[in-house]
Amino acid sequence: MRRIAVLGSTGSIGTQTLEVVENHPDMEITALAAGSNIRLLEEQIRRFRPKVAAVWSEERAEELKARVADLDVRVEAGMDGLIAVATEASAQVVVTAVVGMIGIRPTIAAIQAGKDIALANKETLVTAGHLIIPMVRERGVRLLPVDSEHSAIFQCLNGEHGNRIHKILLTASGGPFRGKTREEMKNIQVEDALKHPNWSMGQKITIDSSTMVNKGLEVMEARWLFGVEMDQVQVVVQPQSIIHSMVEFEDGAVMAQLGTPDMKLPIQYALCWPERRPMGGERLDFWKLAEIRFEKPDFDNFPGLSLAYEAGRTGGSLPTVFNAANERAVSMFLNRKIGYLTITDIIESAMRRHTVIPNPSVEQILEAERDTYDYIESRW
Ligand code: NAD
Ligand code: MG
């Protein structure tokens, strides 16, 4: 039996993870955590019967407790709740599918408790990769990528017996505004930015995909997962999202992983690795697939990507500032408090004023996050 805990079970990755689990009789859910959707969480509890469930707000946790009083489940709240789910004793794997750097502490707690990590929550690795990677090695747990690009890279490295990566070719759809200038993006509304051409995902990552900040976060995620330098990761726009990423080896051979855009494949692969199991859904039909096109990303009109390279090359606390500023700016855009282009203006401004702390501790990362939020609040 594969026993699984899910952080962020009511979200896009969380619900698809539960669909995968349902299709495999040898998988079992032992713990679930969510933000505030207790209606869906209650349904999930009734269906999967976890031992522990957590909700972010105390009040909603009390409400949930009353609703599931007939079941044998412990309900917890807040950061303690997230950590209780991440460290639930019988779980072997923790799927980290919360959104944002709120995932840092529970992910670290899970690693320290000896759990394997199926990692969707990229913000955690971007901000605390220098702490997490050594911890993973020391505890001897596995860090299995769920992000489709990183799963593709991981699959390309299969059977390579430690052959060195020359370059990672990280593919990007380019998002809904590919080909537009900043001038043309001035009046973009929330509804426009939430329409991703190929993937259906949570709101924050959908906005991040439209600004290319998501790809910037993914370059930093790849750098930690695969132990390469920032400049060994080259972003390649591939508008149809059919090639999920590629690896170029030292002899010039390029390996790629292709497939339809469906997150259930990387989720299932992370949960079953190294086994491949049957999966339903649409398949690629190369007779119908007329072409696969490639483009260079537009760094000038999508400064989020250039700023991410800068943050990743500098390292220390700068990726935290990049990420925290983006998290806050995206939430302000979603609440219609700022215009679309202000998202990357805020990131740039927060990065420029920050004094970088090399090799920050968890406390220093969280302090840099708070400081960035305070700065943004005082200015916008
Ligand atoms: P989402 O917004 O759909 O879901 C987020 C989940 O986290 C929800 O269950 C929410 O309740 C929970 N959550 C949020 N704040 C919480 C808190 N404080 N405490 C407890 N739970 C909390 O997001 P998503 O699209 O599923 O993305 C999740 C993560 O996976 C992100 O880091 C994202 O970048 C990454 N990712 C997502 C996709 C995708 O296809 N959706 C693909 C690759 C990577
Ligand atoms: Mg991705």
Q: What is the pLDDT of residues 224-252, one digit of tens each?
A: 999 999 999 999 999 999 999 999 999 99
What separation in Å is there between the alpha carbon of 235 and the centre of ligand 2? 12
Which letter does DSSP use for residue 287 in this model? T
Query: Does 101 contact ligand 1 (Cβ within 6 A)?
Result: no
- C-alpha distance from residue 313 to each of 93, 221, 317 (Å): 31, 13, 11
End-to-end CA distance of the chain: 51
Q: Which atom of ligand 1 is nearest to the CA of 147?
A: 43
3-state secondary structure 95-158: EECCCCHHHHHHHHHHHHCCCEEEECCHHHHHHHHHHHHHHHHHHCCCEEECCHHHHHHHHHCC
Q: Which two tokens stand for residue 46?
A: 């009734």
Please determine, for residue 199, whether its predicted confidence score (pLDDT) is greater than 90.
no
Single out the residue of 52, 103, 116 nearest to residue 272, CA to CA.
Answer: 116
- Point out the annotated binding site for Mn(2+): 147, 149, 218
Model pLDDT, residue 211: 98
Please determine, for residue 21, whether its predicted confidence score (pLDDT) is greater than 90.
yes
Model pLDDT, residue 252: 98
- Point out the annotated binding site: 10-13, 35, 37, 121-123, 147-149, 173, 196, 202, 209, 214-215, 218
Angstrom distance (rounded) from CA 11 to CA 178: 26
Query: Does 8 contact ligand 1 (Cβ within 6 A)?
Result: yes
Model pLDDT, residue 335: 98
Model pLDDT, residue 106: 98
Q: pLDDT averaged over the chain? A: 97
**Neighbour count for residue 197 (Cβ, 10 Å):** 15
Model pLDDT, residue 45: 98
Q: What is the mean pLDDT of the segment spanning 330-338?
A: 98
Determine the length of the chain: 380
Model pLDDT, residue 337: 98
Please determine, for residue 175, whether its predicted confidence score (pLDDT) is greater than 90.
yes
What separation in Å is there between the alpha carbon of 269 and the centre of ligand 2? 15
Q: Which of 80, 199, 201, 207 to mutate to test the pocket of ligand 1 (most atoms within 8 A of CB)?
A: 201
Query: Does 128 contact ligand 1 (Cβ within 6 A)?
Result: no
Nearest bound ligand to the CA of residue 149: 2
pLDDT band at 176 (very low <50, low <70, confident <90, very high): very high
Percentage of the chain beyond pLDDT 90 is: 98
Which residue's alpha carbon is at the smallest distance from atom 43 of ligand 1? 147
Query: Does 106 contact ligand 1 (Cβ within 6 A)?
Result: no
Q: Which of 205, 206, 221 to mutate to test the pocket of ligand 1 (most atoms within 8 A of CB)?
A: 205
Q: Which atom of ligand 1 is nearest to the CA of 263?
A: 40
Query: Does 122 contact ligand 1 (Cβ within 6 A)?
Result: yes
Query: Is 293 exposed, middle or buried (CB count within 10 Å of its CB: 0-12, 13-18, 19+)?
Result: exposed
Question: Strand order in 243-249's β-sheet?
Answer: 233-237, 165-172, 243-249, 254-258
Model pLDDT, residue 290: 85
* Residue range 145-165, pLDDT digits in tens: 999 999 999 999 999 998 999
Please determine, for residue 49, whether its predicted confidence score (pLDDT) is greater than 90.
yes
Please determine, for residue 198, whether its predicted confidence score (pLDDT) is greater than 90.
no
Model pLDDT, residue 359: 98
Q: Which of 7, 12, 79, 260 to mutate to test the pocket of ligand 1 (most atoms within 8 A of CB)?
A: 12
What separation in Å is there between the alpha carbon of 250 and the centre of ligand 1? 36
Please determine, for residue 196, whether its predicted confidence score (pLDDT) is greater than 90.
no
Query: Does 12 contact ligand 1 (Cβ within 6 A)?
Result: yes
* Residue range 214-224, pLDDT digits in tens: 999 999 999 99
Query: Does 11 contact ligand 1 (Cβ within 6 A)?
Result: yes
Query: Does 79 contact ligand 1 (Cβ within 6 A)?
Result: no
Model pLDDT, residue 240: 92
Query: Does 98 contact ligand 1 (Cβ within 6 A)?
Result: yes
Torsion sign, CA atoms 109, 114, 119, 123:
positive
Model pLDDT, residue 197: 84
| DSSP annotation string for 6-52 | EESTTSHHHHHHHHHHHT-TTEEEEEEEESS-HHHHHHHHHHH--SE
Model pLDDT, residue 360: 98
Query: Does 13 contact ligand 1 (Cβ within 6 A)?
Result: yes
Query: Does 85 contact ligand 1 (Cβ within 6 A)?
Result: no
* Residue range 298-329, pLDDT digits in tens: 999 999 999 999 999 999 999 999 999 999 99
Q: What is the value of pTM for the model shown?
A: 0.98
